[in-house]
């Protein structure tokens, strides 16, 4: 391939990663719509904190349960088509949520939303492992993590404005319709990929041997703790700020957006800095592990700070601190999984890792809702989330095995 050809393919790869980040952004905009709409939706549908937690949790029943199957699929079918199908499914589920009038249909659409979005991270990790070299893995995952962080930020700002002017139904309809537009540039970028990368033969390996890997289960447990605080903040922060703190919806939207904006900048910074350390000769194991531990400790401190803060200025400061602490989590968790898996196993490995990690999304909203209903406040829920983050720091530091690509029997 000529220099011009290589530069052209690097440009295509950058566009591919950018669209993956945009898909993840839209993913988190759509899944987070229920939290944004909650201040009006919860009351109009007559939901208690517990039943609202049930509806929020339903997304993770299919999202988590389908991850292993979806990962297996992404290792065996054209991964680019699988991602396009999934996005169409979840965007339509989001759009139709604007027409629900009761808990039952809301739960059904949340289940379909979870099914569609379950494809995202196995497919994204498969594509990154195929197209991005190891020394650029941190920044590629960081760009995707920016989408993860900006999804709630963009969703909160846009959704908050729509909610205040047009009602909660319009939030879902607008978000779902916009997401469908992603399919247009995706089709053009995939056509620009080399034919050989679009026709890679299915990976052949023993699924039983994969499941016997101790590293897979420990990485999944680490992912549970890394996810818990993020899901807690993205689902419950709007209700906490408007209900407990008594803030108007526009103020809530800006404070939440500041939190996720800080996360996006932190993701980019930690991804770039961690890659520079690896390129300078530092152990990738040491670098990815250290950033993970620091993020988890920071989350515990930040969550406690939010709960104990007095005044809007202090609250903003602790929200931004928490956003910064959330930055390393997704960047490092997926980079670690990709190290263990390599390209051949990336879809299946991340499918299982994300399935285990999604347990925090299944359990967390139910635990939080039960604590809030039982105690009448969020104090106990904040304490529990901080404790889970500290547990995560211990797992990343002492339980996670050395980071190197596994070799299946």
pLDDT of residue 229: 92
Angle at 338 between CA 334 and CA 339, to 5 degrees: 120
- Give the 3-state secondary structure percentages of the chain, helix then strand then coil, rounded to 5: 85, 0, 15
pLDDT of residue 398: 97
Instruction: Specify if 368 maps to a domain.
Output: yes
pLDDT of residue 2: 42
**Structure pTM?**
0.81
Low-confidence residues in the chain, pLDDT < 50: 1-4
Q: How many domains does the chain have?
A: 1
Element holding 150 (H helix, E strand): helix 137-166
Instruction: Specify if 407 maps to a domain.
Output: no
Say how many C-beta atoms besides its own lie within 10 A of residue 248's C-beta.
Answer: 12
Domain that holds residue 38: 3-399
Instruction: Specify if 250 maps to a domain.
Output: yes
pLDDT of residue 4: 45
Instruction: Specify if 404 maps to a domain.
Output: no
Instruction: Specify if 408 maps to a domain.
Output: no
Instruction: Specify if 110 maps to a domain.
Output: yes
CA distances from 68 to 63, 176, 201 (A): 10, 26, 20
Instruction: Specify if 187 maps to a domain.
Output: yes
CATH of the domain at 394: 1.20.1250.20
């Amino acid at each position: 391939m000529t220099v011009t050809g290589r530069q052209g393919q690097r440009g295509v790869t950058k566009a591919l990663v950018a669209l993956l980040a945009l898909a993840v952004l839209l993913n988190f905009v759509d899944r987070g719509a229920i939290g944004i709409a909650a201040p009006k939706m919860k009351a109009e549908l007559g939901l208690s904190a517990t039943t609202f937690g049930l509806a929020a949790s339903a997304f993770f029943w299919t999202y988590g349960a389908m991850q292993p199957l979806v990962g297996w699929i992404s290792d065996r079918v054209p991964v680019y088509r699988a991602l396009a199908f999934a996005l169409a499914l979840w965007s339509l589920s989001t759009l139709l949520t604007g027409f629900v009038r009761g808990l039952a249909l809301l739960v059904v659409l949340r289940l379909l939303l979870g099914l569609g979005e379950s494809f995202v991270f196995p497919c994204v990790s498969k594509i990154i492992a195929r197209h991005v070299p190891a020394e650029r893995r941190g920044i590629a995952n960081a760009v995707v993590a920016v989408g993860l962080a900006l999804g709630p930020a963009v969703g909160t700002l846009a959704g908050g404005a729509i909610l205040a002017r047009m009602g909660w139904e319009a939030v879902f309809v607008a978000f779902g319709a916009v997401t469908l537009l992603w399919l247009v540039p995706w089709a053009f970028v995939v056509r620009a990929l080399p034919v050989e990368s679009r026709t890679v033969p299915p990976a052949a390996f023993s699924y039983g041997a994969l499941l016997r890997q101790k590293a897979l289960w420990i990485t999944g447990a680490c992912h549970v703790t890394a996810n818990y605080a993020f899901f807690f903040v993205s689902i419950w922060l709007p209700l906490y700020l408007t209900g407990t703190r008594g803030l108007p919806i526009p103020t809530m939207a800006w404070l939440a957006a500041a939190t996720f904006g800080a996360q996006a900048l932190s993701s980019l910074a930690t991804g770039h800095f961690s890659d520079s350390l690896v390129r300078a000769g530092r152990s990738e194991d040491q670098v990815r592990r250290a950033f993970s531990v620091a993020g988890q400790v920071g989350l515990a401190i930040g969550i406690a700070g939010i709960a104990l803060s007095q005044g809007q200025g202090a609250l903003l400061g602790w929200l931004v601190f928490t956003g910064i602490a959330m930055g390393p989590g997704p960047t490092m968790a997926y980079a670690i999984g990709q190290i263990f898996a390599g390209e051949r196993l990336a879809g299946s490995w991340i499918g299982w890792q994300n399935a285990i990690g999604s347990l925090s999304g299944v359990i967390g909203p139910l635990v939080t809702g039960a604590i809030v209903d039982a105690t009448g406040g969020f104090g106990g829920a904040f304490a529990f989330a901080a404790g889970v983050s500290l547990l995560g720091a211990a797992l990343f530091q002492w339980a996670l095995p050395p980071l190197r690509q596994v070799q299946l029997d």
